[in-house]
């Protein structure tokens, strides 16, 4: 059932608590950058220019920091190369710098996430060149991580691993594609459906059920 609107605050907490109690496997996606070699070149320049480590750069990451870095390095010929620099506008250069810093930050924090929960990892699956999926058993500390968020949109580039899913063994309980604004909860009966509505979940369609066991009719 596709969820309508933003799920955040208490509604997010109650939804995640419900899914955690019903699931034993947690899946996330980490997207692969298309221009990773260029980003690594930018990173080297930034680290030398700021005399800092990658961890320092990630710690400083914010909208204000993006603006600061974009302004400081917008005229840096070393970043673009002489040929490209001559055809790059200041605004275009600033956008490129911000984009690459976003990827630097994303690559760092997603790598940190995988390393942090490597003991819980069950499977790593490269199903597409553009992203890799990771499957974890739901440990207590991973549950705590999930509940530390405040919104389904906290699981989104460049701030986090993305496209979270919950499973009860092989049965999908919840699936999301945050960048596409798609959040799908799998409801098995009327009791679950009523609970989701009670905690503030809204759906794009109205549903009725055949008794207590199965989806019967979808009402627009």
Domain contains 119? no
Domain boundary among 85, 114, 143: 114
Question: Cβ(157)–Cβ(33) under 8 Å?
Answer: no
Q: pLDDT per residue over 96-142, tens digit each?
A: 899 999 999 999 999 999 999 999 999 999 978 888 999 999 999 99
Q: What is the pLDDT of residues 31-51, one digit of tens each?
A: 998 888 889 999 999 999 999
pLDDT tier at 188 (50, 70, 90 boundaries)?
Answer: confident
Domain end marker among 114, 145, 180: 114
124, 80 in Cβ contact below 8 A?
Answer: no
Shared domain check, 49 and 70: yes
Q: In which band, very low, low, confident or very high, does the pLDDT at 87 lie, cut at 50, 70 and 90?
A: very low
Please indicate, yes or no, whether residues 163 and 212 belong to a single structural domain of this protein: yes
Same domain assignment for residues 213 and 140: yes
Q: Are residues 84 and 148 in the same domain?
A: no
H/E run at residue 208: strand 206-209
> From residue 185, how far is each of 6, 102, 167, 176, 195 by CA, in Å?
14, 30, 11, 9, 12
| pLDDT exceeds 70 at position 210 | no
DSSP-H helix ranges across 74-116: 77-80, 82-85, 90-116
Examine residue 123 and state whether it is found in any structural domain, yes or no. Answer: no
Considering its fold, how many domains does the chain have in total?
2
Encode pLDDT of 20-30 as tens digits.
999 999 999 99
Q: In this predicted structure, what is the pLDDT of residue 78?
A: 79
- Which among 149, 184, 148 is positioned nearest to 166, based on CA atoms? 184
Under the banding of pLDDT at 50, 70 and 90, the label for residue 83 is very low
Q: Please tell me whether residues 26 and 56 are part of one structural domain.
A: no
Query: 85 pLDDT exceeds 50?
Result: no
Domain range for 162 is 3-32+129-219
Domain identity same for 48 and 109: yes
HEC string of 138-188 equals CCHHHHHHHHCCCEHHHCCCCCCCEEEEEEECCEEEEEEEHHHCEEEECCC
Q: Are residues 28 and 46 in the same domain?
A: no
**Does 64 reside within a domain?**
yes
- The answer to whether position 207 is within a domain reads yes
Q: Is residue 10 part of a domain?
A: yes
Does residue 122 sit within a domain? no
Residue 25 resides in a domain: yes
Regarding whether 20 and 41 lie in a shared domain, the answer is no
């Amino acid at each position: 059932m596709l969820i309508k609107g933003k799920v955040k605050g208490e509604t997010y907490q109650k939804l995640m608590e419900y899914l955690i109690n019903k699931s034993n496997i947690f899946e996330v996606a980490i997207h692969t950058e298309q221009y990773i070699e260029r980003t690594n070149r930018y990173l080297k320049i930034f680290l030398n220019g700021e005399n800092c480590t990658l961890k320092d750069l990630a710690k400083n990451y914010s909208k204000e920091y993006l603006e600061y870095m974009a302004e400081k390095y917008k005229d840096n010929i070393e970043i673009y190369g002489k040929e490209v620099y001559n055809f790059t506008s200041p605004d275009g250069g600033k956008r490129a710098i911000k984009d690459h810093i976003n990827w630097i930050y994303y690559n760092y924090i997603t790598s940190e996430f995988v390393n942090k929960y490597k003991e819980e990892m069950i499977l790593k699956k490269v199903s597409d060149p553009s992203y890799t999926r990771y499957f974890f058993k739901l440990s207590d500390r991973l549950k705590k991580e999930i509940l530390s968020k405040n919104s389904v949109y906290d699981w989104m580039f460049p701030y986090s691993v993305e496209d979270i899913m919950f499973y009860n063994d092989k049965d999908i309980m919840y699936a999301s594609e945050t960048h596409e604004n798609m959040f799908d909860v799998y409801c098995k009966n009327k009791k679950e459906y009523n609970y989701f509505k009670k905690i503030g979940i809204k759906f794009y369609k109205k549903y009725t059920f055949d008794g207590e066991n199965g989806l019967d009719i979808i009402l627009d």
